[in-house]
Amino acid sequence: FLLSIHGIQEEGPPNAQLMRLDNMLLAEGVSRPERRGRGGSAAAANTATPGGCPNDNSLEHSDYRAKLSQIRQIYHSELEKYEQACHEFTTHVTNLLREQSRMRPVSPKEIERMVGVIHGKFNAIQMQLKQSTCEAVMTLRSRFLDARRKRRNFSKQATEVLNEYFYSHLSNPYPSEEAKEELARRGGITVSQVSNWFGNKRIRYKKNMGKFQEEATIYTTKMAVDTTKIGGLGSQASCCPAQGPSFTHGDLLYGGSGGKAGCDSAAPLSPSAGSWLLFWVLLEGCGGWTGHPGPSDAQSLSFQAQGSWQGATPPVSTASPAGDPGGINSDASN
DNA sequence: AGGAATGATTGGCG
DNA sequence: CGCCAATCATTCCT
């Protein structure tokens, strides 16, 4: 008899929110499809059911699913508890009123009203439960599904491969789709990870080339050795900084403001380096990355002049770590 | 603990 | 659509 009353707790405004919560819980697979369609007792048998998440074809979120399942379990056990309590309370109050009806007139209307109030209270509690469950799910989602939170550094192999390509195509570090696939394959990562890596690398290299000098020399020399360059001159071909031996970090610097994107804009470079850089610039067709990815993909002169792709970055100069010359590699062999 | 490094995401642009 | 720049969030390193 207790499910006969249903009209009373039809609150207007908060209903929308409740709908939202219900929908979300449903979407997350937290609440069951049938939910509380019927009276209180319906929810009994579902606590332990493990399966049931519909569209969750998870790849590796077993952990996520475990946590979600935990949330669901708590949600249902709480929900059941509330419904049971509601039921008990309702019968209790009903009985009480019925008993009182022997002493004084108690209209059925009054009973109904009472029951309605009780249900309203318990619904409010359920509402809170749903809300907090939603919050928990949201938190969980952001914790597990947001890939940023699961970042792992790439393997040595992957960074090796990527850096190798980057520094050997420094003049135009924009791998084609095929190249990306190849790099992804060799590094054991995905193509989009390769793209991300190059995006990050370009911007960070450009932003602070000094930081990458060592790395650059490492990879360029490695490359040079690897390719068993042309002749004795090969070593210089790897350009200025590749000459690791002469000094630890190339400390040559480059007037930050100088280079503009123009082909022969190398003029304002430091005096000693100017000729070399100009040479390389010309040799490279002065292609900056920013310009055209075009034909400059020649088998990679491993070096390029600064003027090229990062030329357009004004803000660099201040950023350099205290006292560190914004050093770019430039020729220092003399 | 705190900062540097680093992978991923977001918004804007051509 | 790919890129850049800024930003986030985590991991690594001291």
Task: Give the 3-state secondary structure of A47-101.
Answer: CCCCCCCCCCCCCCCHHHHHHHHHHHHHHHHHHHHHHHHHHHHHHHHHHHHHHHC
Lowest-pLDDT choice from A96-100, A185-189, A290-294: A290-294
Which residues in chain A, range 187-226, keep a C-beta under 7 Å from any nucleic strand B atom? Answer: 192-193, 196-197, 199-200, 204, 211
Pair of tokens at residue A222: 């490695």
Q: How far is the CA of A120 from the C1' of B3 (A)?
A: 53
Cβ atoms of residues A169 and A60 within 8 Å? no
Q: How far is the CA of A177 from the C1' of C3 (A)?
A: 14
The sign of the CA dihedral A183, A188, A194, A200 is: negative
A285-326 pLDDT tens trace: 444 565 444 444 433 344 444 546 775 544 444 434 433 433
- A4: pLDDT strictly greater than 90: no
Strand, coil or helix: what is A278?
helix
What secondary structure letter does DSSP report for A228?
T
The nucleotide whose C1' lies nearest the CA of A159 is B6
Percent of chain A with pLDDT over 70: 50
**A54: CB within 7 A of chain B nucleic strand:** no
Which letter, b or e, does each residue of A9-45 get, where b requires 16 or more Cβ atoms within 10 Å of its Cβ? Answer: beeeeeeeeeeebbebbeebbbbbeeeeeeebeebee
A47-51: average pLDDT: 34
Cβ atoms of residues A221 and A232 within 8 Å? no
The nucleotide whose C1' lies nearest the CA of A147 is B8
Q: How far is the CA of A149 from the C1' of C12 (A)?
A: 15
SS3 content of chain A, % helix, strand, coil (to 5): 60, 0, 40
Residue A10 pLDDT: 43
User: Which of A207, A204, A197 lies closest to A155, judged by CA?
Assistant: A197
User: Which of A259, A265, A271 lies closest to A313, judged by CA?
Assistant: A259
Model confidence at A189, pLDDT cuts 50, 70, 90, reads very high
**Which value, to the nearest 10 degrees, does the dihedral of the CA atoms of residues A88, A90, A91, A94 take?**
160
A61-73 pLDDT tens trace: 666 677 778 888 8
Pair of tokens at residue A286: 């002065």
What secondary structure letter does DSSP report for A291?
S
**A149: CB within 7 A of chain B nucleic strand:** no
A218-260 pLDDT tens trace: 888 887 777 665 544 434 433 334 333 333 333 333 333 333 3
Question: What is the C-alpha to C-alpha distance for residues A53 and A30, in angstroms, rounded to an integer?
Answer: 8
Residue predicted with more confidence, A86 or A267: A86
Q: How far is the CA of A295 from the C1' of B4 (A)?
A: 37
User: Which of A177, A138, A126 lies closest to A9, judged by CA?
Assistant: A126
Query: Quick one: how far is CA A78 from the chain centroid?
Result: 34
**String of DSSP letters for A116-171:** HHHHHHHHHHHHHHHHHHHHHHHHHHHHHTSGGGG--PPPHHHHHHHHHHHHHTTT
